[in-house]
Amino acid sequence: MSASKARRRSSPISNAPSRPRRDDINGKRRGSMIKTFLAGALGLALMSGTALADTTLKLVEVITSPARTETLKGLVAKFEQANPGTKVEITSLPWGEAFEKFATMYSAGDTPDVMEMPDTWVALYAKNGALESLEPYLAKWQYTSGLNDRALQFGRSTDGKTAYMLPYGFYMQAMFYNKKLFKDAGIAEPPKTLPEFLDASRKLKAIGKAGYCQRGGRGGLNDWTIFSNAVSGNNTFFKDDGTSTFADPDKVKGLAFLIDYYKEGLSPKDSINWAFNEQVAGFYSGTCAMLNQDPDALIAIDEKMKPEDYGVVPIPKGEAGKAFPVIGFAGWSMFANSSNKEASWKLIEALESPEPNVEWNKRTGALPVHKSAEKDPFYAADKFKGWFAELSDPNTVPTSLPSYLEEFAFFKDSMVVSTGQQALLGEISAEDLGKQWADYLTPAQQKFKSAQ
């Protein structure tokens, strides 16, 4: 997932508003509010974890869907059966509102023992002292040596040495395409380059279909990042002095590519509001013929489409001959104020051990964190070949978002949405968009660098 993934559950496509909308709270004010929540509540939260009985654990999930929640309940039931007298209370927050809802819970001292932690949130809570280091537990865990290299690297992403979360899976993007719509539009093969991507999109528009299932709502930073990087030919977010590259002319040109694509009507008008569910539904419903998504999109697509009607290929490359799919992750964290830390780690173990981890990721669509999972027949299926092709291509460079920044969660889940929608509507230019993002991220990166 960004885990980037990630990570992004919202209303069905039929409920998507017909008019573009933007966040109703000013970005600066909202960021200040959440930061005040976290700072002001820390002392209370760290002292409030003793109210529960010793045998009760609170678990919060935030990347929710009915299938995921049912899978989680099944794994938790097995944990409870293996640990008589220990009960787990699950709280499921809808992803579209999870960032704000959990910030409110945290500010009230209502923290869980164990929480599903998106990659873009971990630095925010770890740097406020809210999360427990998992290093002592990992040092004794029998499966630590079997984790793939990325698992511990990303788990320690906050400071490079302390695992404040243990990833359960990775999300990397590839290009889905609708074979039937491509045939109807006279497109011989899926696009390998951005010019071919534009040409295919225009041919699809000519038969009354949108080309790309754009994501202008929550989680849309992935689209902005992939296209700006492909156009510019590099995936650097910051210069050596900590200055953000989003305002650089080549990155602005990439932002303009996506803005112009939307203005030309090559993506659905309502896609300015689309988050994960709407974007995926746009693809399987045949509203648009191309989708840039992680393996978790397969869950819904496989239910709605026949295997022969779609394919998954690497994302198109830019002029420099490179593509930069975003790779994200999510995992499980323990809160520092838990009064049941040993039991909490047992719960994390029950979710993260090889067999349940593979079971979980088969339902969530992420790639498992254990090396042994590569031998599972499920991941040898044809539908995963697009992702494995990307991993084997030296000119396709998996790119991590700067989720180690404390300020990144607000940037990704609020600021990017509101300002990105303004740009798509023509209210601000690509230059203005890049400058606003750079002005926000530069001091965050420079603060991070000075603290190292």
State the residue for tokens 């280091």.
133
Alpha-carbon Rg for the chain in angstroms: 21
What pTM was computed for the model? 0.68
Q: Which amino acid is at 133?
A: S
Q: What is the pLDDT along the chain (452 residues), one digit of tens a residue?
A: 444 443 333 333 233 333 333 333 334 444 444 444 444 444 444 444 333 346 799 999 999 888 889 999 999 999 999 999 999 999 999 987 898 999 999 999 999 999 999 988 998 899 889 999 999 999 999 999 999 877 898 899 888 899 999 999 988 899 999 999 999 999 999 999 999 999 999 999 999 999 999 999 999 999 999 999 999 999 999 999 999 999 999 999 999 999 999 999 999 999 999 999 999 999 999 999 999 999 889 989 999 999 999 999 999 999 999 999 998 889 999 999 999 999 999 999 999 999 999 999 988 878 889 988 878 888 877 888 888 788 778 899 889 899 889 899 899 999 999 999 999 999 999 999 999 999 999 999 999 889 86
Strands 114-118 and 367-368, bridge-based pairing: unpaired
Distance of CA 383 to the CA centre of its chain: 20
How far are the Cα atoms of 63, 167, 362 from residue 330, in angstroms, in the given order?
9, 5, 15
User: Phi and psi for 130 in degrees, rounded to 5?
Assistant: -85, -20
Q: What angle do CA 305, 309, 313 make, to 5 degrees?
A: 105
Which helix (H) or strand (E) is 88 found in, with range?
strand 87-92
| CATH number of the 13-172+328-389 domain | 3.40.190.10
Q: What are the structural domain ranges in the chain?
A: 13-172+328-389
